[in-house]
Amino acid sequence: MRLLVVEDDPAIAGPLCTGLRREAFEVELARTGADALAAGEADLVLLDLGLPDMDGGDVCRKLRERSEVPIIVVTARGDELDRVILLELGADDYVVKPFGFRELVARIRAVLRRVNAPAAAPPPEPTLTVGPLVVDTRTRSVTWHGEDVSLTPKEHDLLVYLARDPGAVVTRAQLMEDVWDENWWGSTKTLDVHIASLRKKLSPELIETVRGVGFRLVDASEP
């Protein structure tokens, strides 16, 4: 597995790359955001936010715009809102400095297992239609009242999960386990952030909150 480590501090980058190579990873080091964006394809990106030339959040967003490569953000920020925003930008997970090397390797392997898990059998209905909402699971495209809607990969996964059984209530725990999976280490607040983003991009009434339980997708065309 090839890892792209984006870290400008030599005191961290050197031992980190050495340790990851000892874990049998192939490692490429990028010391700036520009170098990270110019690097070749990787199986996972380990992205530090404190880069000398550009904000790490911008690097995360640009990487996600062109690829679905897994991204683990390394941050010294302790504010939970900052971390949720990073997840919104497309990060798959995060670790907060200072972190233990064994914990980091465990998170890397967990994300890679999820990404490389055998694909499930294709659904019998690759196109999901719920009133004015149309989701094509093959092309990962979404239209709302005939207009294209741009979603992040995780927003799309969450919408597909709800749209497969419109009207059914899905618990928060079930969504976190099946959309983010049991290896998720972050806050469940990211679910609320993604739900809020879908409501903003589509319709506030499309996803209904069932207090104390979870959420359900409703047919917005019904009276």
pLDDT digits (tens, 9 = 90+) for 60-87: 999 998 888 999 988 776 555 466 777 7
Helix (H, G, I), strand (E, B) or coil at 219: coil
Element (H, E) at 216: strand 214-217
Phi and psi at residue 95, to the nearest 5°: -130, 145
- The full set of domains in the chain, from first to last, is 2-116 (3.40.50.2300), 127-217 (1.10.10.10)
Quick one: pLDDT band at residue 123, thresholds 50, 70, 90?
very low
pLDDT greater than 80 at residue 159: yes
Query: Which residues lie closer than 8 Å to 207 by C-beta, 6 or more apart?
Result: 162, 195, 198, 199, 215, 216, 217, 218
Q: Which residue has the higher pLDDT, 222 or 35?
A: 35
pLDDT greater than 80 at residue 26: yes
Average pLDDT for 2-12: 94
- Tell me, what's the pLDDT at 222? 57
Query: DSSP class of residue 30?
Result: E
pLDDT averaged over every residue in the chain? 86
Q: How many Å apart are CA 89 and CA 163, to the nearest integer?
A: 23
- Percentage of the chain exceeding pLDDT 70: 87
- Sheet with strand 93-96: strands edge to edge: 26-30, 2-6, 44-48, 71-75, 93-96
Q: Which residue has the higher pLDDT, 162 or 100?
A: 162
Q: Which residue has the tokens 């990969």?
A: 153
155-167 burial, b if ≥16 CB within 10 A, otherwise e? Answer: bbbbbbbbbbebe
The angle formed by the CA atoms of residues 178, 166 and 206, to the nearest 5 degrees, is 100
Is the Cβ–Cβ distance between 95 and 107 less than 8 Å?
yes
